[in-house]
Structure 1
Amino acid sequence: MKKIILFLFLGAGFLGNSQQMTLKKGVVIDSIAVKDSISENFSLYIPTSFEMDKNWPILFVFDMEGRGRQAIRMFIGAAEKQGYILAASNNVNDALTTSQNILITGRMFNDIIKILPVQKNRIYSAGFDSGARFASVLPIFVKGISGVISCGSVYPNMDILDTNNLFHFIGIVGKEDYAYPEMLAGKSIMGRLKFPNQLLVFNGGHEWPNTQYLGKALEIFNLSAMAKGQSEKDEAYINDTYAQNMEEINLLIESNRLIQADNLLDEVMSVYRVLKDGDSLKRIKRELKKNKLFKTMTRNENNTLLKESFIKEDYVYYLEEDLATYNYNNLGWWIYQMGELKKYDNSKIEAEREMGKRLLGYVNALIEDNIDIVNSGNQVDQEVLSLLWMLKTITDPTDHSYYLKIISNSAKMEDYGTSLFYLEELLKKGYTDKAELYSLENTALLRITPEFNDIVAKYLKDARYETIEE
């Protein structure tokens, strides 16, 4: 398909000298320089239906490693279908302070609204995980952002919400995501504070949702704008999207995914409240509440959420205790806990299987957060860091990087016994990169020992250095 090229003529007020900028519709345009900055730039996507003679909603997407192009690509299908401009900074980063990231965002924001016909009351922000947390706080600090799409992250701090500065919050989360319980609770709190909000739930873990759910979030923003009179009411669009949602609800009920059906029912009822008659939705809701299987599933979910909260408290308590006392002797307790989580995989109760996945994600995130905290200190506590790496080999044994860190650090401390133990554990997990093993930092003396080479030869057939028997 031939791409349509849009020519934008920028005057002296933007670049200082009148010049022509060429923007292609339907492709991600990378590294557009920000005015009055040395090295800041952003990525941009303009839908193929774009025309200069009308104002367009825009979605700013945030990735806190500055991967703007990648972040935008997640929303392209949804933006094309729903009619949104997409923009993403290539400079925001978790290593920067919130205020620095807000300033970077503000400069990008100001540039874009000067060159594109943006609908001023339809500016939104979005992200996943840390990007979602940053996107969520932007309406507090950047005037004009009227809605947020938060994927895999609850609103970071309910205390800073201002009921005089309401914005629309849409959460999207997988049922196996460790953020699921917090996002359920967050939805309730935001509702009490009168913030318009929805929570879309999909089958999956801590990951970007697919285009269907991202598109549904943009669809909700469109319908909300029509309900508020911010955009022209499109009856065909309202009826089509309503019919699609009804079809999805019925499919969820037919496949016995009743918790998700109930959740979607609630969201559809809130979105179409002033746009459509809701009698049919209310009837389905009443019938669902009478369903015995739904009652059982609801009871199971509530029970597992309560149990999950207690287990998470144990994880936090014992991790704090172990780190404070350098308690390597408690590694066995963590191995036992991972064994207990695996048992949930075979549970006949779906809510328990989902809980097991969430708890595994939670404990890994908890340990990784502590690793980040230790590494960010002025003086790194190497003993604590080593213990955290060992915990990661227990909670995420397929991530080989932590074994390598332990081997290197233990060799540096001349603790060759620990290095050799984790070397063998690593090779048992199927690790095969011999070149990396023999170039690992701090292991020059270790890797010429007979013990090291015997272990390598045992799993990888041959070692670099031969063991000479006397």
Structure 2
Amino acid sequence: MKNAIYSILFLFVTVFCYSQDKQLLQTGVINDSVKIATTPTESYAIYFPKKYDAKTPLALVFIFEPGARGKEGIEPFILAAETYNYILVCSNTLRNGSTEVNIAVANRLFDDVLQTYPIDTSQLYISGFSGGARLASFYGISSGAFQGVIACGASFSGMDKLIPPSNNFSYVGMVGDRDMNYLEMIANKEWLDKAKIVNTLLVAHEEHVWPKQSEMLRAFDWLEIQAYRKKIRPKNDTIIKRIYDTNLRIADSLKANNEMVASVNAYEKGITLFNTNEDNSLRAKISEIKKSRAYKDEVAKMEKIKVQENEILDKLSLRFDQELKSAKSTSNFKFWKSEIQNLNAMKLDDKNILDKNMAIRILYWFQVLVYETGQENKRNQQNDKFAYCNELYKIITEN
């Protein structure tokens, strides 16, 4: 793994010559199957913004889609790419699986793209969803080559956090409040803050899915401000005003809907850190909200939910591990039927949205855990354990 990091660092400082022989590809559309020159069995999708002229080096986002679906991985980024003139690249080969294999695939992708197209290597970004987000986070923290990471629906692996961070990249976390990895992303932000890595977290009313284009644009709005601060891009007052207005509108709407914590987060996204009158106005709004009873009550409720969710996750995980050893339910699945029934009832409770979202997260997490464990035992020909998982999976998904 260390050699892979060294090779990518060497690559990024030696790719200023690019091939002029690559086929001409369309702009403004996703070119879905471009082959890696050195490894024709591997390919990627690529998107050039409509203003691309094949001469001017542009910023670029490498994207990792966990199902190796290049087109699906690029689509959430198109609005941001057109707004800020980014090239988008997503592998059709890299998928959830072996980290070592994926690092090799990713390095071949980096090599081919950076030697083929005019890329501004001072403006390299990396993103991914779910397992792809974990790989993107690894490269962000270990290589020092990327200005920003956009991690959707997952964060670092535990081991990656042991790597001394370069601290020179900006990190955007994106997650749904019904995503099974929601608590992980909340905890990840706390870790990033302690590590002094400039970061933000965007939370949408979604489950475990790629963010919408409008949400992805907000991520790149925030990254644009960081680029101005680091003098990677020239400051653009028109863009700053649009970002301010967008976040103000969203924040005001959330506040009117009594989503106080979310409104504070949205106001914070509009702060440019250039100490303008607009920045000071947003800071005043944030201070006022944080003093309110409604905000304090919501924070307390969220903390209570966090504790409750972790307790339920621990209880289900422990019981599952215990029963899996013998491949038999000690209560003929009565325990599981009761637990799933309770979670499904909570899932339907529209009067308590935080509890409802918690139940959705837990059910999805447990469904994935049981399914993947069952498939692993099937591959290992542990038929009794596979049968146990299969029966439990039916109970989880029958409602």
Cα contact 1:125–1:145 (8 A) shared by 2: yes
Aligned twin of 2:357: 354
Aligned twin of 2:369: 366
Aligned twin of 1:274: 274
The one of 82, 92, 95 aligned to 2:94? 92
Cα contact 1:252–1:258 (8 A) shared by 2: yes
| CA apart distance, 1:363 | 1.4
Question: Deviation per CA, 1:355-382, whole angstroms, max 9, x where unpaired?
Answer: 1111112211221332344245xx3211
Cα contact 1:31–1:41 (8 A) shared by 2: yes
Partner of 2:24, secondary structure, is strand
Aligned twin of 1:192: 194
Aligned twin of 1:232: 234
Aligned twin of 2:50: 48
* Aligned equivalents of 2:353, 2:22: Cα separation in 1: 58
How does 1:63-462 map onto structure 2 within 5 Å?
A: 63-95=65-97, 97-140=98-141, 142=143, 144-157=145-158, 158-269=160-271, 272-274=272-274, 276-277=276-277, 278-330=279-331, 331-344=333-346, 345-346=348-349, 348-375=351-378, 379-397=380-398
Under a length normalisation based on structure 2, what TM-score does the superposition of the two structures give?
Answer: 0.89
* Aligned equivalents of 2:204, 2:360: Cα separation in 1: 14
Aligned twin of 1:62: 64
Aligned AA (1:65):
G
Under a length normalisation based on structure 1, what TM-score does the superposition of the two structures give?
Answer: 0.76
Decide whether aligned partners of structure 1 residues 228 and 246 sit closer, same or farther in structure 2, where only a CA change above 3 A counts. Answer: same
Cα contact 1:326–1:387 (8 A) shared by 2: yes
* Unpaired segments ≥5 residues, structure 1: 1-12, 399-470
Partner of 1:150, secondary structure, is strand
Aligned twin of 1:462: none
Decide whether aligned partners of structure 1 residues 274 and 374 sit closer, same or farther in structure 2, where only a CA change above 3 A counts. Answer: farther
Cα contact 2:70–2:90 (8 A) shared by 1: yes
Aligned twin of 1:404: none
Q: Percent identity?
A: 24
Decide whether aligned partners of structure 1 residues 21 and 53 sit closer, same or farther in structure 2, where only a CA change above 3 A counts. Answer: closer
Aligned AA (1:82):
Y
* Aligned equivalents of 1:213, 1:283: Cα separation in 2: 25
Decide whether aligned partners of structure 1 residues 375 and 334 sit closer, same or farther in structure 2, where only a CA change above 3 A counts. Answer: same
Partner of 1:205, secondary structure, is coil
* Aligned equivalents of 1:173, 1:102: Cα separation in 2: 24
* Aligned equivalents of 1:141, 1:289: Cα separation in 2: 36
* Aligned equivalents of 1:20, 1:361: Cα separation in 2: 44
Partner of 1:145, secondary structure, is coil
| CA apart distance, 1:275 | 6.3
* Aligned equivalents of 1:135, 1:255: Cα separation in 2: 34
Decide whether aligned partners of structure 1 residues 93 and 228 sit closer, same or farther in structure 2, where only a CA change above 3 A counts. Answer: same
Question: Deviation per CA, 1:71-97, whole angstroms, max 9, x where unpaired?
Answer: 1122222322232110011111234x2
Task: State the Cα RMSD in Å.
Answer: 2.0
* Aligned equivalents of 1:226, 1:200: Cα separation in 2: 20
Decide whether aligned partners of structure 1 residues 119 and 275 sit closer, same or farther in structure 2, where only a CA change above 3 A counts. Answer: farther
Cα contact 1:79–1:85 (8 A) shared by 2: yes
* Of 308-317 and 133-142, the range deviating more from structure 2: 133-142
* Aligned equivalents of 2:113, 2:276: Cα separation in 1: 35
* Aligned equivalents of 1:347, 1:22: Cα separation in 2: 52
Decide whether aligned partners of structure 1 residues 194 and 375 sit closer, same or farther in structure 2, where only a CA change above 3 A counts. Answer: farther
Give the structure with higher Rg (CA). 1
Question: Deviation per CA, 1:196-249, whole angstroms, max 9, x where unpaired?
Answer: 111001112112221111111122222211111011111111122112111111
Partner of 2:90, secondary structure, is strand
* Aligned equivalents of 1:138, 1:40: Cα separation in 2: 20
